[in-house]
């Protein structure tokens, strides 16, 4: 360590001084320092970089920080005069602090110029501690944790601190009593001599060092007890350890030695002496006295490195023709300062030769292994890796140097690591071979599947020598197996999904169950099912999973072209979106806000018809594999089939319902004309020779028979058309004649409803090839329909328009209209529209079916249009036009005739014929009778007439029979009225409803005069 401020001689002198000494240049940077300074600072400063002091931090005695540029050395150099005797505190790297007094002095060259400064740091830490101890000892004897006693006159216990209770208890005395004789003998002698002494005392198995301190001024003695039991035990153990060490060193087959800081041997076992070529002991001698200077310098350099660095070092050292592996470590004193070096040297001459041969063999092995097409590795008996070849590194994505030891385990896939290492550790413990399949996870994220095999190696004595193994890349095989397994799993899931899809009755339940089966396989957490709404102008959400509750209102409807599903519906093509969270595409923003990463949407197509869309999405993966997308498409096809099945089933159920409704309606419609016919017969029998009554009833019966004929003819026509038996008698017909015939047939119905019919005909005749009777039936049915479903007085128009080779007939009304959802089904068999006011319009629901069938049989087409409820309707049909033609006829009918005692009877029925017939029966039976045409009119009449009996129909316009009955029963005068329902509805459910509404009896049309007479004449009925 040369510096401009010191010569070599001064450096040697400084190094040998026990005090911390260092020098600085004029710039304050440390140039030289001795070992004591390093020991004091706790680390060596860096010459030319560390300034003014080698300590990390400097403090004043009161603990406040002292800036480095204000320390004594800095002040001395800056002010050009020595600053001595000012105590400072230096802090070491381990946090401990030392109290020192610096003595800086300026250094001059031969010309008297200042070239630097030298500083000696005197460590007074121990002195400060002793002063503190003395202060504490004088100030706090009572608080001393060790026993303290004062014997007055050398024998009587005058003072004992709390810790001394154990001493008094052992002596079996109390304060004020005399101490044991063996103690008083010592204290008396101390008082006489006035000198302090220390003795060892054994009390109840504890060993104390007792400090006897006479106080001559008070003729007393202070006794300070220090329990050294553990110390004595440690000293005894240390002596045993030293004896064992000497025995070990003496008999060890390796060289064991210790040296002091000057390099003198302090311990050297026989092997050490023999290695140095000495028969006698070498203790007290240095290597320079025993071996060549060249070797001695090397050994001394190694020793000093250990002492200076304070840590163990291993070298290979050669002594003569022998080669030794030497491990040297520092010998430390009580202050952890290096005071020497200890070494163990093993003769590795033979081993070195063997290692050379082994290296040559290993080199050959490595050359072979590195060119092998499979991964090859070598492991130690404990399982640590010793060697891996290039193929292994390529498979694992790890450099060979990083794979040594346990480094190779880092390349194992985290999901396989515990299993593989557990099996490997078990093989190592059992000293057995190992075989397993696992994955390497490379830094780039790719995975390599390998078949790893390790064969146990043994040495010449049969002891474990390690493992040699191979890793074969089986990635392709695993991918194939995985693909086959996934295909099998998907096929299984498809079967399970198909079972759910084809048996479930509820779409939402089906989709939730299907999603539950496939979500884990596809790693999806969300699905959306949108279906085309009834209006066909957008999508509505039918089912979903994994959608936050707050997002549902915004998903209730999507426009075509909106978001991903709307685009799929508009294009009718699948869309797959990946890495959505990184995308700014407008279509993905809706699902991006839900945290979705990957999204696959498929249209649900039945031929050319779009039913809706089905989407699957994931928040955890950014993309789907092609086979997964194909799987989702298959599921979507299955769901499409399910929706078609549900629609078919629903259509069948609807048809079945319409059939039941038709049969019930047919019964009702048959009863309506039959009731007045049957009643008329009874009236005719009771009228006897009353010609006017008989004529009235005959006329009524004639009209009802005509209605029956029309009804039965319609049924027969539908049956013939359905079975393909209806024959058209076509001829060249002028359309105007057909229209006039149809209007004439429908005029009574139109007039009855007080409607106004407007006809618009083309200027020139229009000829068509048609069956005039059937075509008139078509137009008449449409006119009747318009009159029937228009509340009077209404507006009905019939317009005939010719355009090129087609003629269009349009019948328009301003009636109740057709709901949008019914337009596609209005021509289906048995279909009827519910009245907005709940009125019963009658009919079987077959008229429009006949219209459609007959028009199509004429080679035309029919269409229904309406803007909705209360907006009226337009029915139109087109037929091909001919050059000329002529008309054709249709129609015919038949007829049938009854008496009662005196009560006020009210008949309420919207069917005028039925009401008149029933009123006539009641009148002939001798009662006062009035007739109301609907429920509202009936209530108004009843309030004035106060009837005792009311016969009331149920299905009436304005107010139906059930509501009329409920309101009547709320009136005081209506509570005791005998209320009889007279209706075409006769099922159990109908009877239950009439009873709940307040009716006393339920008669099914046609009600016989006998049953009416029985009710009117039964006393209990009128009580």
Per-residue DSSP letter, 820: G
**Alpha-helical regions (H) of 33-124:** 35-41, 72-79
**Once rounded to an integer, what is the mean pLDDT over residues 756-777?**
88
Q: Cβ(825)–Cβ(899) under 8 Å? A: no
Rounded Cα distance, 770 and 368, in Å: 101
pLDDT, tens digit, for every residue of 925-960? 888 899 999 999 999 888 888 899 999 998 888 899
pLDDT, tens digit, for every residue of 434-448? 889 999 999 999 999
**Once rounded to an integer, what is the mean pLDDT over residues 669-675?**
65
**Once rounded to an integer, what is the mean pLDDT over residues 336-363?**
82
What local confidence, expressed as pLDDT, does residue 667 receive?
62
**Once rounded to an integer, what is the mean pLDDT over residues 593-600?**
93
Q: Give φ, ψ of 54 to 5 degrees.
A: -85, 5
Q: How far is CA 509 from the centre of its chain?
A: 22
Q: End-to-end alpha-carbon separation of the chain, Å?
A: 139
Q: Cβ(771)–Cβ(888) under 8 Å? A: yes
What local confidence, expressed as pLDDT, does residue 668 receive?
55
**Once rounded to an integer, what is the mean pLDDT over residues 230-239?**
85
Tokens of 983: 């209706």
Question: What percent of the chain lies above the pLDDT cut of 90?
Answer: 24
What local confidence, expressed as pLDDT, does residue 276 receive?
86
Tokens of 850: 């006949």
Nearest to 171 by CA among 144, 141, 149: 149
722: confidence class by pLDDT, cuts 50, 70, 90: low
pLDDT, tens digit, for every residue of 422-474? 998 888 888 888 889 999 999 999 999 999 888 888 887 888 888 888 899 98
**Once rounded to an integer, what is the mean pLDDT over residues 397-426?**
91
Q: Cβ(89)–Cβ(99) under 8 Å? A: yes
Return the HEC string of 511-570: HHHHHHHHHHHHCCCEEEEEEECCCCCCEEEEEEECCCHHHHHHHCEECCCCHHHHHHHH
pLDDT, tens digit, for every residue of 631-646? 889 888 888 888 888 8
Q: How far is CA 628 from the centre of its chain?
A: 20
What domains are there in the chain, each with its CATH number? 5-132 (3.30.450.20), 141-228 (3.30.450.20), 252-353 (3.30.450.20), 372-481 (3.30.450.20), 486-649 (3.30.450.40), 728-880 (3.30.565.10), 904-1017 (3.40.50.2300)
Taking every pair of C-alpha atoms in the chain, what is the biggest distance, in angstroms?
175
Does pTM surpass 0.85? Answer: no
1023: confidence class by pLDDT, cuts 50, 70, 90: very low
Rounded Cα distance, 793 and 787, in Å: 10
Q: Cβ(982)–Cβ(953) under 8 Å? A: yes
Burial, 667: exposed, middle or buried (Cβ in 10 Å; 0-12, 13-18, 19+)? middle
The sign of the CA dihedral 493, 496, 499, 505 is negative
What local confidence, expressed as pLDDT, does residue 575 receive?
93
Q: Looking at the predicted structure, is the pLDDT value of residue 841 above 60?
A: no
Query: What is the rounded (10 degree) CA torsion for 765, 768, 770, 775?
Result: -50
Sheet holding 197-203, edge to edge: 156-160, 148-152, 220-227, 206-215, 197-203
pLDDT, tens digit, for every residue of 546-557? 998 888 888 889
251: confidence class by pLDDT, cuts 50, 70, 90: confident
DSSP string of 626-646? Answer: HHHHHHHHHHHHHHHHHHHHH
Q: Do the bridges between strand 949-952 and strand 978-983 make them parallel or antiparallel, or are there none, so unpaired?
A: parallel
Q: Cβ(978)–Cβ(1016) under 8 Å? A: no
Which residues, 6 or more positions from 185, have their beta carbon under 8 angstroms from its beta carbon?
none
DSSP string of 394-462? Answer: HHHT--HHHHTBTGGGGGB-HHHHHHHHHHHHHHHHHT--EEEEEEEE-TTS-EEEEEEEEEEEE-TTS
Nearest to 960 by CA among 976, 981, 977: 981
**Once rounded to an integer, what is the mean pLDDT over residues 980-987?**
83
Rounded Cα distance, 123 and 14, in Å: 16
What local confidence, expressed as pLDDT, does residue 897 receive?
34
Exposure b/e, 15-32, CB count within 10 A at least 16 = b: eeeeebbbbbbeebbbbb
Q: Cβ(859)–Cβ(646) under 8 Å? A: no
568: confidence class by pLDDT, cuts 50, 70, 90: very high
Exposure b/e, 224-257, CB count within 10 A at least 16 = b: bbebeeeeeeeeeeeeeeeeeeeeebeeeebbbb
Which residues, 6 or more positions from 860, have their beta carbon under 8 angstroms from its beta carbon?
877, 878, 879, 880
What local confidence, expressed as pLDDT, does residue 677 receive?
75
Per-residue DSSP letter, 708: H
**Once rounded to an integer, what is the mean pLDDT over residues 1005-1016?**
81
Rounded Cα distance, 232 and 207, in Å: 8
Tokens of 808: 């269009």
What local confidence, expressed as pLDDT, does residue 1 receive?
43
Q: Looking at the predicted structure, is the pLDDT value of residue 717 above 70?
A: no
Q: How far is CA 727 from the centre of its chain?
A: 69
What local confidence, expressed as pLDDT, does residue 541 receive?
92
Rounded Cα distance, 311 and 309, in Å: 6
**Once rounded to an integer, what is the mean pLDDT over residues 50-69?**
89
pLDDT, tens digit, for every residue of 173-229? 999 899 999 888 998 888 888 888 999 988 888 899 999 989 877 788 989 999 888
Pick from 285-289, 503-507, 861-865: least confident: 503-507
Question: What percent of the chain lies above the pLDDT cut of 70?
Answer: 89
Instruction: Tell me what the pLDDT averaged over the chain comes to.
Output: 83
The sign of the CA dihedral 353, 354, 355, 359 is positive
**Once rounded to an integer, what is the mean pLDDT over residues 230-256?**
83
Rounded Cα distance, 347 and 400, in Å: 31
Q: Looking at the predicted structure, is the pLDDT value of residue 695 above 70?
A: yes
Q: Cβ(219)–Cβ(191) under 8 Å? A: yes
Which residues, 6 or more positions from 372, have their beta carbon under 8 angstroms from its beta carbon?
389, 391
More confident residue, 740 or 729: 740
Tokens of 424: 């490997």
More confident residue, 683 or 564: 564
pLDDT, tens digit, for every residue of 606-629? 888 899 999 999 999 999 988 889
Q: Looking at the predicted structure, is the pLDDT value of residue 130 above 80?
A: no
What are the distances in angstroms from CA 666 to CA 235, 364, 659, 678, 893?
122, 105, 10, 18, 19
Rounded Cα distance, 850 and 887, in Å: 21
Pick from 8-17, 462-471, 574-583, 906-915: least confident: 8-17
**Once rounded to an integer, what is the mean pLDDT over residues 826-844?**
62
Rounded Cα distance, 641 and 605, in Å: 9
What local confidence, expressed as pLDDT, does residue 2 receive?
46
Rounded Cα distance, 775 and 773, in Å: 6
890: confidence class by pLDDT, cuts 50, 70, 90: very low
């Amino acid at each position: 360590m040369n510096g401009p401020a010191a010569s070599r001689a001064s450096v040697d002198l400084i190094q040998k001084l026990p005090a911390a000494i260092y020098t600085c240049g004029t710039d304050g940077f440390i140039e030289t320092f001795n070992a004591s300074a390093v020991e004091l600072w706790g680390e060596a400063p860096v010459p030319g970089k560390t300034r003014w002091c080698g300590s990390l931090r400097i403090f004043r005695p009161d603990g406040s920080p002292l800036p480095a540029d204000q320390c004594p050395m800095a002040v001395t150099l800056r002010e050009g005069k020595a600053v001595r005797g000012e105590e400072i505190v230096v802090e070491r790297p381990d946090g401990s602090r030392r109290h020192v007094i610096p003595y800086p002095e300026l250094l001059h060259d031969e010309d008297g110029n200042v070239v630097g400064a030298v500083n000696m740091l005197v460590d007074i830490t121990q002195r400060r501690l002793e002063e503190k101890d003395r202060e504490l000892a004088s100030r706090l004897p009572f608080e001393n944790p060790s026993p303290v006693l004062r014997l007055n006159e050398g024998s009587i216990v005058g003072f004992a601190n709390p810790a001394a209770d154990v001493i008094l208890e052992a002596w079996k005395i109390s304060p004020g009593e005399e101490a044991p004789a063996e103690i008083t003998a010592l204290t008396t002698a101390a008082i006489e001599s006035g000198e302090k002494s220390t003795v060892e005392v054994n009390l109840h198995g504890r060993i104390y060092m007792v400090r006897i301190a006479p106080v001559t001024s008070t003729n007393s003695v202070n006794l300070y007890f220090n329990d050294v039991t553990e110390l004595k035990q440690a000293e005894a153990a240390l002596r045993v350890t030293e004896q064992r060490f000497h025995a070990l060193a003496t008999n060890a087959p390796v060289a064991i030695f210790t040296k002091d800081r000057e390099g003198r041997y302090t311990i050297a076992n026989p092997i050490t002496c023999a290695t140095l070529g000495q028969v006698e002991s070498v203790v007290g001698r240095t290597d320079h006295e025993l071996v060549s200077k060249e070797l001695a310098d090397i050994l001394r350099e190694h020793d000093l490195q250990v002492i200076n660095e304070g840590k163990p070092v291993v070298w290979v050292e050669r002594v003569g023709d022998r080669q030794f592996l030497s491990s040297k470590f520092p010998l430390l004193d009580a202050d952890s300062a290096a005071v020497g070096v200890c070494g163990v040297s093993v003769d590795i001459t033979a081993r070195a030769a063997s290692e050379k041969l082994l290296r040559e063999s290993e080199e050959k092995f490595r050359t072979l292994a590195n060119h092998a097409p499979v991964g090859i590795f070598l492991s130690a008996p404990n399982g640590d890796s010793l060697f891996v070849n290039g193929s292994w590194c390529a498979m694992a994505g790890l450099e060979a140097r990083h794979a040594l030891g346990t480094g190779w385990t880092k390349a194992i896939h985290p999901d396989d690591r515990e299993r593989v290492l557990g099996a490997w550790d078990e093989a190592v413990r059992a000293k057995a071979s190992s075989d397993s399949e696992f994955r390497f996870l490379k830094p780039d994220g790719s995975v390599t599947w390998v078949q790893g095999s390790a064969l146990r190696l043994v040495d010449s004595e049969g002891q474990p020598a390690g493992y040699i193994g191979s890793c074969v890349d089986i990635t392709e095989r695993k991918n194939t197996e995985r693909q086959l397994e996934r295909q099998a799993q998907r096929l299984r899931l498809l079967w399970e999904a198909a079972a759910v899809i084809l048996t479930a009755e509820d779409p939402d339940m089906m989709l939730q169950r299907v999603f539950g089966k496939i979500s884990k396989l596809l790693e999806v957490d969300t699905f959306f099912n949108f279906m085309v709404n009834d209006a066909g102008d957008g999508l509505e959400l039918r089912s979903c999973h994994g959608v936050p509750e707050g997002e549902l209102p915004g998903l209730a409807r999507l426009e075509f072209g909106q978001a991903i599903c709307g685009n799929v519906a508009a294009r009718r093509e699948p869309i797959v979106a990946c890495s959505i969270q990184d995308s700014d595409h407008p279509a993905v923003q809706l699902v991006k806000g839900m945290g979705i990463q990957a999204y696959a949407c498929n249209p649900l197509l039945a031929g050319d018809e779009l039913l809706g869309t089905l989407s699957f999405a994931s928040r955890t993966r950014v993309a789907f594999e092609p086979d997964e997308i194909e799987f989702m498409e298959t599921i979507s096809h299955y769901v499409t089939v399910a929706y078609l099945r549900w629609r078919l089933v629903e259509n069948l159920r609807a048809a079945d319902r319409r059939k039941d409704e038709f049969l019930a309606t047919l019964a009702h419609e048959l009863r309506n004309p039959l009731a007045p016919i049957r009643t008329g017969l009874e009236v005719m029998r009771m009228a006897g020779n009353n010609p006017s009554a008989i004529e009235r009833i005959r006329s009524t019966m004639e009209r009802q028979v005509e209605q029956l004929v029309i009804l039965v003819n319609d049924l027969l026509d539908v049956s013939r058309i359905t079975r393909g038996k209806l024959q058209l008698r076509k001829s060249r017909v002028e359309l105007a004649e057909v229209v006039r015939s149809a209007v004439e047939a429908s005029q009574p119905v139109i007039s009855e409803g007080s409607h106004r019919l407007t006809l618009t005909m083309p200027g020139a005749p229009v000829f068509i090839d048609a069956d005039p009777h059937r075509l008139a039936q078509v137009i008449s049915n449409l006119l009747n329909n318009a009159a029937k479903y228009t509340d009077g007085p209404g507006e009905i128009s019939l317009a005939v328009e010719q355009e090129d080779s087609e003629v269009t007939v349009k019948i328009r009304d301003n009636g109740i209209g057709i709901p949008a959802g019914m337009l596609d089904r209005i021509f289906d068999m048995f279909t009827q529209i519910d009245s907005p006011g709940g009125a019963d319009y009658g009919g079987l629901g077959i008229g429009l079916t006949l219209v459609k069938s007959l028009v199509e049989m004429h080679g035309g087409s029919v269409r229904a249009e309406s803007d909705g409820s209360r907006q009226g309707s337009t029915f139109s049909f087109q037929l091909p036009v001919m050059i000329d033609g002529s008309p054709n006829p249709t129609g015919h009918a038949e007829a049938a005739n009854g008496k009662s005692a005196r009560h006020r009877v009210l008949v309420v029925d919207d069917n005028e014929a039925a009401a008149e017939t029933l009123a006539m029966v009641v009148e002939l039976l001798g009662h006062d009778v009035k007739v109301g045409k609907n429920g509202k009119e009936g209530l108004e009449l009843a309030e004035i007439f106060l009837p005792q009996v009311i016969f009331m129909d149920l299905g009436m316009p304005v107010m139906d029979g059930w509501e009329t009955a409920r309101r009547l029963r709320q009136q005081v005068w209506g509570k005791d009225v005998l209320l009889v329902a007279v209706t075409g509805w006769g099922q159990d459910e109908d009877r239950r409803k009439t009873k709940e509404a307040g009716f006393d009896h339920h008669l099914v049309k046609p009600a016989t005069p006998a049953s009416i007479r029985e009710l009117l004449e039964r006393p209990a009925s009128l009580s």
